[in-house]
């Protein structure tokens, strides 16, 4: 992607390198798009804790059942699920505001929990010249804050967030936008995800989803949609190193 003299963005499709194996030409993927919560940071679990704490204080039942349905969704789609559960009179904005205070207070006291292997994987991708993007259902301000705090903002050539699309995961829009901004066909890119909604989104976009499960264990659907499932980012790194 580059900016023209008139200031408009122009997208250039990346040429995907190939090699021959057993006489067959095999395309080598060299673009990857990360999810954030649950992949780069252990913030999915932290977000759940904040929702459960505020729900308990407010006497709201079944939040342990409702929250998992919201994993991977943006604010618009999460709001719809919560309002369906508690009724149209429920003060969703007030609830999220209290949960946000709990969440940021925890991070201020104990720090941002970075997942093992994040910096090693990002450093290797940079050294190998990969195009790296991020597609998170979280709003832009929080994404930028987390990346800056962890010191990894500069690894990402493009960042697409949940407030940039009307509907986020499991719909493919957010990943399609990330691939457009990177100038690559979705079929020539990996996506790293932890949640079923994220895997569905990447798969529907035509990408090759790599799953690193966090809070929800993979079922048969996830095994069918995922190119490969890993236990952590160290395994992802070893896999990509063998693919180059």
Domain boundary among 110, 131, 152: 110
CA angle 195, 220, 235 (to 5 degrees): 55
Gap between the Cα atoms of 4 and 208, Å rounded: 31
Gap between the Cα atoms of 118 and 39, Å rounded: 8
User: Are residues 48 and 9 part of one domain?
Assistant: no
User: Are residues 60 and 153 part of one domain?
Assistant: no
Cα separations (Å) of 209 from 125, 201, 203, 213, 218? 17, 9, 6, 12, 13
User: Are residues 134 and 197 part of one domain?
Assistant: yes
**Per-residue pLDDT tens over the stretch 3-58:** 333 333 333 333 344 444 444 344 568 999 999 999 999 999 999 999 999 999 99
Tally the domains of the chain.
Answer: 2
In DSSP notation, 160-192 reads EEGGGSSS-TTSSHHHHHHHHHHT--GGG-EEE
pLDDT under 70 in the chain at which residues? 1-28, 244
User: Are residues 132 and 98 part of one domain?
Assistant: no
User: Are residues 169 and 92 part of one domain?
Assistant: no
- The owner of tokens 């987390």 is 146
Among residues 198, 206, 209, which one has the least CA distance to residue 170? 198
User: Are residues 234 and 157 part of one domain?
Assistant: yes
Residue span of the structural domain in which 48 resides: 43-110
User: Are residues 139 and 53 part of one domain?
Assistant: no
pLDDT for the residue numbered 155: 98
Q: State whether the Cα torsion 85-37-188-18 is positive or negative.
A: negative
pLDDT for the residue numbered 75: 85
User: Are residues 53 and 125 part of one domain?
Assistant: no
pLDDT for the residue numbered 7: 38
Cα separations (Å) of 193 from 129, 142, 143, 178, 210? 21, 18, 16, 14, 6
What is the token pair recorded at 111? 């720090």
């Amino acid at each position: 992607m580059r900016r023209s003299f008139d200031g408009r963005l122009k997208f250039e499709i990346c040429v995907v390198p190939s090699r021959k194996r057993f006489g067959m030409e095999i395309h080598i993927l060299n673009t990857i798009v990360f999810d954030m919560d649950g992949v780069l940071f252990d913030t999915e679990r932290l977000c759940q804790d904040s929702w459960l704490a505020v729900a308990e204080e407010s006497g709201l039942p079944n939040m342990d059942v409702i929250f998992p349905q919201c994993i991977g969704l943006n604010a618009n789609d999460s709001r719809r699920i919560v309002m369906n559960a508690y009724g149209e009179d429920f003060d969703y904005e007030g609830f999220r505001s209290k949960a946000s205070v709990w969440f940021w207070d925890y991070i201020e006291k104990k720090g941002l929990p970075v997942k093992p292997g994040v910096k090693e994987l990002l450093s290797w991708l940079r050294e190998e010249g990969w195009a790296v993007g991020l597609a998170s259902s979280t709003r832009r301000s929080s994404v930028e804050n987390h990346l800056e705090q962890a010191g990894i903002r500069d690894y990402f050539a493009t960042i697409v967030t949940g407030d940039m699309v009307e509907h986020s995961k499991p719909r493919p829009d957010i990943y399609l936008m990330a691939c457009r901004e990177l100038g690559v066909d979705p079929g020539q890119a990996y996506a790293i995800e932890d949640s079923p909604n994220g895997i569905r989104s990447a798969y529907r976009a035509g990408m090759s989803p790599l799953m690193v499960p966090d809070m929800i264990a993979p079922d048969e659907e996830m095994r069918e949609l995922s190119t490969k499932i890993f236990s952590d980012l160290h395994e992802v790194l070893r896999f990509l190193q063998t693919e180059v």
